[in-house]
């Protein structure tokens, strides 16, 4: 299997980034291939351009999007790693999904609407918040993110949701042993979800 680790955090030493590293180690330990897509490190431009929006006159994805789609074309698992900021994913991630997972890659024109193009692929997410998980759920943020960034994206693209693991109460200066414990939870999730493939 091939996994794309899509990281939306500006600090390469962040807790979120450490989860992606643990995921990569676990997947490669299973003999799978991984590619890292560090959106901030790549300086990915999240701003959708007017000519990238499908219209009756057509559309034209920019070269950075075309290149990204080539890199992702054979991916079996899309693994998202991001923090909750203002109880929502970073704008960088939304922009990446808008531009890369758009018409011609994640879905195309069908007879009666859009047709999913990523059937048979999987979506898995790992998120973190400074607020405790219970508070994130109580405010409705968890349900909103699950609806918009898991269920809707998966449905439009034709992907299956493998899991969404959230770590709450993650604050600056978090102890190393706590980080290690959460990284192990990521490794365990990878083994559980993909170990028999």
Give per-residue pLDDT as tens, 160-178: 999 999 999 998 888 999 9
- Top CATH class of 2-194 equals alpha beta
This prediction has a pTM of: 0.95
Q: What is the pLDDT of residues 144-163, one digit of tens each?
A: 999 999 999 999 999 999 99
**The predicted structure's pLDDT at residue 112:** 79
Q: Give per-residue pLDDT as tens, 50-77.
A: 989 988 777 889 999 999 999 999 999 9
pLDDT band at 110 (very low <50, low <70, confident <90, very high): confident
Name 70's Cβ contacts closer than 8 Å, sequence gap at least 6: none
Residue 136: both structure tokens together: 């994130």
**Given pLDDT bands bounded at 50, 70 and 90, which one contains residue 197?**
low
Dmax (CA) of the chain: 56
Looking at residue 23, its pLDDT comes to 98
Pair of tokens at residue 56: 């009756």
Here the tokens at position 19 are: 């989860």
Q: How many CB atoms sit inside 10 A of residue 52's CB?
A: 16
> What burial class does residue 74 get, using C-beta atoms within 10 Å of its C-beta: 0-12 exposed, 13-18 middle, 19+ buried?
exposed
> What pLDDT, on the 0 to 100 scale, is given for residue 101?
96
More confident of the two residues 112 and 102: 102
User: What residue ranges do the domains of the chain occupy?
Assistant: 2-194
What are the b/e assignments for 7-30, b being 16+ CB within 10 Å? bbbeeeebbbbbbbbbbbebbeee
Three-state SS at 153: helix
Share of the chain above pLDDT 90, in %: 89
Across all residues in the chain, what is the average pLDDT?
A: 95
Mean pLDDT in residue range 106-133: 93
Question: Which residue in 96, 113, 109, 93 sits closest to 61, CA to CA?
Answer: 96
* Confidence tier at 117 by pLDDT (50, 70, 90): very high
């Amino acid at each position: 299997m091939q996994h794309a680790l899509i990281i939306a955090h500006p600090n390469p030493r962040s807790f979120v980034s450490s989860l992606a590293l643990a995921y990569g180690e676990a997947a490669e330990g299973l003999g799978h291939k991984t590619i890292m897509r560090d959106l901030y490190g790549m300086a990915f431009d999240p701003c959708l351009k007017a000519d990238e929006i499908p219209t009756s006159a057509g559309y034209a994805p920019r070269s950075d999007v075309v290149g990204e789609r080539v890199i992702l074309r054979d991916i079996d698992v899309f693994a998202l790693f991001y923090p909750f900021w203002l109880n929502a994913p970073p704008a960088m991630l939304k922009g990446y999904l808008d531009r890369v997972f758009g018409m011609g890659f994640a879905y195309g024109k069908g007879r009666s609407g859009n047709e999913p193009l990523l059937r048979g692929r999987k979506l898995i997410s790992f998120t973190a918040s400074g607020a405790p998980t219970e508070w994130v759920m109580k405010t409705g943020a968890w349900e909103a993110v699950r609806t918009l960034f898991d269920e809707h994206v998966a449905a439009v693209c034709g992907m299956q949701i493998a899991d969404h693991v959230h770590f709450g109460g993650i604050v600056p200066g978090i102890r190393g042993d706590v980080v290690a414990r959460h990284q192990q939870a990521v490794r365990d999730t990878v083994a559980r979800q993909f170990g028999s493939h």
